[in-house]
Copies of this chain bind each other. A is one copy, B any other.
Amino acid sequence: MASAPLPAPRPSLPRVLIIGGGFAGLAAARALAKSPVAVTLFDRRNHHVFQPLLYQVATAALSPADIAAPIRHILRRQRNCHVVLAEITSVDLERKLVHFVQGDGDATAQFDWLILAAGATHSYFGKPEWERLAPGLKTLEDATEIRKRILLAFENAEYETSPQRRRAALTFAIVGGGPTGVELAGAISEIAAKTIPSDFRNIDTKTTRVVLFEGGDRLLPAFPPQLSERARRDLVSMGVEVRLNARVTDINVDGLYLGAEFLPVRNVLWAAGVMASPLGASLGPGVPTDRAGRVLVGPDLSVPGHPRVFVTGDLAHAVCPGQSEPVAGVAQGGMQMGAYAGRVIASEVGTSAHPATRKPFVYKDKGIMATIGRSRAVGVVGGFKISGFPAWLFWGGLHVMFLVNYRSRIIVALSWMWNWLLFSRDARLITGPARLDISGGMGVAPAPSVADPHVHDAI
* A residues adjacent to B (C-beta < 8 A): 1-8, 11, 15, 17, 38, 40, 44-47, 60, 63-66, 68-70, 72-73, 76-77, 82-87, 97, 99, 102-111, 140-141, 144, 151, 155-156, 158-161, 196, 198-202, 405, 407-408, 410-411, 414-415, 418, 424, 426-432, 434-435, 439, 443-448, 450, 453-459
B430 touches A46 (CB 8 A): yes
Contacts of A40 in B (CB 8 A): 459
Assuming the contacts A431-B64, A434-B46, A453-B108, asked whether A459 and B6 have C-beta atoms less than 8 A apart, the reply is yes
B70 touches A199 (CB 8 A): yes
Contacts of A87 in B (CB 8 A): 434
A428 touches B141 (CB 8 A): no
Closest B residue to A426 using CB positions: B407
Choose among B77, B156, B434, B435 the residue that contacts A198 (Cβ–Cβ < 8 A).
Answer: B77
**Least distance between A43 CB and chain B CB atoms (Å):** 9
Choose among B44, B64, B107 the residue that contacts A456 (Cβ–Cβ < 8 A).
Answer: B107
B161 touches A455 (CB 8 A): no
Choose among B110, B141, B432 the residue that contacts A455 (Cβ–Cβ < 8 A).
Answer: B110
**Least distance between A360 CB and chain B CB atoms (Å):** 29
Not counting A70-B199, A82-B201, a sample of 12 additional A-B residue pairs whose C-beta atoms are within 8 angstroms of each other reads A1-B448, A44-B434, A47-B429, A65-B429, A68-B429, A70-B151, A103-B156, A104-B435, A104-B448, A110-B456, A110-B458, A407-B426
A46 touches B144 (CB 8 A): no
B141 touches A445 (CB 8 A): no
CA distance A439 to B426 in the complex (A): 35
Choose among B104, B161, B414, B455 the residue that contacts A414 (Cβ–Cβ < 8 A).
Answer: B414
CA distance A87 to B155 in the complex (A): 13
Closest B residue to A47 using CB positions: B429
**Least distance between A6 CB and chain B CB atoms (Å):** 5
Choose among B65, B66, B434, B459 the residue that contacts A5 (Cβ–Cβ < 8 A).
Answer: B459
CA distance A441 to B428 in the complex (A): 31
A3 touches B85 (CB 8 A): no
